[in-house]
Amino acid sequence: MTVLTLPERNLEILAGTLDENFRYLGERLRVRLTARGDTVSVDGDPEAVELTGKLLQALGKLLASGYSVGKEEFRTALRVLEEDPGVDLVEFFTDASIPDSVKRLVVPRNLKQRLFIQALNKFDLVFAVGPAGTGKTYLAVAMAAAALAEHRVKRIVLTRPAVEAGERLGFLPGDLVEKVNPYLRPVYDALYDILGYDRVARHLERGVIEIAPLAFMRGRTLNDSFMLLDEAQNTTPEQMKMFLTRLGFHSRAAITGDVTQIDLPNEKTSGLVQARQILGNLTGICFFDFFKEDVVRHKLVEKVVAAYEAHDEARRGNGS
Query: In sequence order, what are the beta bridge partners of 213?
Result: 160
Amino acid residing at 182: P
Give all strands (DSSP E) within 161-245, no chain letters.
209-213, 225-229
98/119 Cα distance (integer angstroms): 10
Residue 219: CA count within 13 A, CB half-sphere: 2
Total number of residues shown for the chain: 320
- The mean pLDDT value for 56-75 works out to 93
What pLDDT does residue 160 have? Answer: 87
Enter the pTM of the model: 0.80
80/44 Cα distance (integer angstroms): 20
Biggest distance spanned by C-alpha atoms of the chain: 67
pLDDT value at 284 more than 90? yes
What pLDDT does residue 264 have? Answer: 87
pLDDT value at 162 more than 80? no
- The mean pLDDT value for 75-98 works out to 89
7/70 Cα distance (integer angstroms): 17
What pLDDT does residue 53 have? Answer: 95
Categorise residue 147: left if φ over 0, alpha if ψ from -120 to 50, beta otherwise.
Answer: alpha
Residue 171: Cβ-neighbour burial (10 angstroms; 0-12, 13-18, 19+): exposed
Query: What's the order of all strands across the beta sheet hosting 2-5?
Result: 2-5, 39-44, 31-36
- The mean pLDDT value for 307-318 works out to 82
DSSP string, 237-273: HHHHHHHHTTB-TT-EEEEEE-TT----GGGPPPHHH
Other CB atoms within a 10 A radius of the CB of residue 320 amount to 6
Which of 5-9, 152-156, 210-214 shows the lowest per-residue confidence on average (mean pLDDT)?
210-214
pLDDT bucket at 173, cuts 50 / 70 / 90: low
Contacts of 67 (CB under 8 A, 6+ apart): 93, 94
- The mean pLDDT value for 85-105 works out to 82
pLDDT value at 21 more than 60? yes
Q: What is the pLDDT of residues 191-247, one digit of tens each?
A: 888 888 999 999 999 999 998 888 888 888 899 999 999 999 999 999 999 999 999
